[in-house]
Amino acid sequence: MLVSATEMLKKAKAGHYAVGQFNINNLEWTKAILQTAQECNSPVILGVSEGAGKYMTGYKTVVGMVNGMLEELNITVPVALHLDHGSYEGCLKCVEAGFSSIMFDGSHYPIEENVAKTKELVKIVAEHGMSLEAEVGSIGGEEDGVIGAGECADPKECKMIADLGVDFLAAGIGNIHGKYPANWKGLSFETLAAVQELTGELPLVLHGGTGIPADQIKKAIDLGVSKINVNTECQLAFADATRKYIEAGKDLEGKGFDPRKLLAPGAEAIKATVKEKMELFGSVNKA
């Protein structure tokens, strides 16, 4: 059964480790991540962006697929199904479809509007036993070929949003989605420490987990990060393994064109990536 992410992240914060959010794109992704979480005896959060939700035909399909897998793969570790960077409307749709957790990304609104919308959602998720992530300070990344620097959140604004009763908070600390540019300055630990100082026990979320060096990940966990999002790294691992399979001509040997064979190396590569992250984040055997 799906669970909200509240308990697993409270435990992570208290135990000084982080739970990974791995974004899903299709059946292979979901299966690979769930199997790895079970093998590692680790809690896990499956992230679904609005785009990925649409790609998989809609949120109800996602909920049906994940619930089916939990049962048929005998998954017993805690699993949360979480909307990633949701709009207000997207959040309402996921509540209705049966997600167990949502993120409302109001970081692009003026702070008053972010507060008002987040407040509404705090009420709604409470009625459904779900968890809510909010965001302050937008997280940069590549959009139409332009790489934006990650913003640093204002700690006072973080405190305002934290006090609304959200379950965990994503604060921009110079992190960005996708690959980091060669001249990236690294995470702003000053910002993270200042946010943590004001928000106390609240688990903090680090987006853009792909390509952040291990020592910075560890330091972020020490400073209160309890959830780390990884997406691009699984995509790169999948693409690389699939390319190797095709370039080696394996799809032309026997029934190598069968999708169950063609997609297998990519799925194995996702598993290896997820396992490596769970070990780095310290969530192995924390189910």
Our CB check for ligand 13P shows the closer of 4 and 23 to be 23
Q: How far apart are CA 20 and CA 103, in angstroms?
A: 15
232 binds ligand 13P (CB under 6 A): yes
Residue 147, SS3 per DSSP: strand
Catalytic residues, by residue number, are: 84
Residue 108 labelled as part of a binding site = no
209 binds ligand 13P (CB under 6 A): yes
* Minimum distance, C-beta of residue 220 to ligand 13P, in the bound complex (Å): 13
277 binds ligand 13P (CB under 6 A): no
- Residue 67 burial (CB < 10 Å; 0-12/13-18/19+)? middle
Q: How far apart are CA 214 and CA 200, in angstroms?
A: 24
Beta bridge partners of 48: 83
43 with 77: CB under 8 angstroms? yes
229 binds ligand 13P (CB under 6 A): yes
137 binds ligand 13P (CB under 6 A): no
Our CB check for ligand 13P shows the closer of 84 and 151 to be 84
Q: How far apart are CA 113 and CA 107, in angstroms?
A: 9
* Minimum distance, C-beta of residue 177 to ligand 13P, in the bound complex (Å): 4
230 binds ligand 13P (CB under 6 A): yes
Q: How far apart are CA 136 and CA 161, in angstroms?
A: 8
135 binds ligand 13P (CB under 6 A): no
Residue from 50, 151, 157, 233 touching ligand 13P (CB under 6 A): that is 233
Question: Binding string, 161-200, against ligand 13P, x = CB under 6 A?
Answer: ----------------xx----------------------
What's the per-residue H, E or C state across 83-114?
Answer: EEEECHHHHHHHHHHCCCEEEECCCCCCHHHH
84 binds ligand 13P (CB under 6 A): yes
Residue 207 labelled as part of a binding site = yes
Residue 229 labelled as part of a binding site = yes
210 binds ligand 13P (CB under 6 A): yes
Closest CA to 161 of 191, 121, 129: 121
* Minimum distance, C-beta of residue 196 to ligand 13P, in the bound complex (Å): 19
- Contact range with ligand 13P by CB under 6 A, out of 122-130, 196-204, 223-231, 259-267: 223-231
Our CB check for ligand 13P shows the closer of 6 and 138 to be 138
Site residues (vs ligand 13P, CB under 6 A): 23, 47, 84-85, 177-178, 207-210, 229-233
